[in-house]
Structure 1
């Protein structure tokens, strides 16, 4: 099964695409749309904004980098 995701104004994203092939804006839009859809299906009134998504993704990247740095030291 192939997942296709077509963002308005962006190229079509396929399930086989590597995340490294996507731009930062494409990743933020993709994650934002997915979380918004999940919130709507769960019946939540509020969903995260794109700024919230960017903040979380940035924090995740910083945590991953910190773990990588600690592994190099150990």
Structure 2
């Protein structure tokens, strides 16, 4: 039997745009542009004017950028 983590049992942390900006260093327009181009994690709609991002996805995106940098070096 393989020991796999139960993802459903782990809480999903949703973060607002200011934290996404803090993590990535990008401003609002750039983040939304990347989302629309499909190169950044999708938003989670909480209401008609409220969105968040899954923190783990944003962090994974930044980790993937760093890993790609290492392969280019």
> Which of structures 1 and 2 has the larger relative contact order (alpha carbons within 8 angstroms, sep 6+)?
2
TM-score normalised according to structure 2 size: 0.34
Higher helix content, 1 or 2: 1
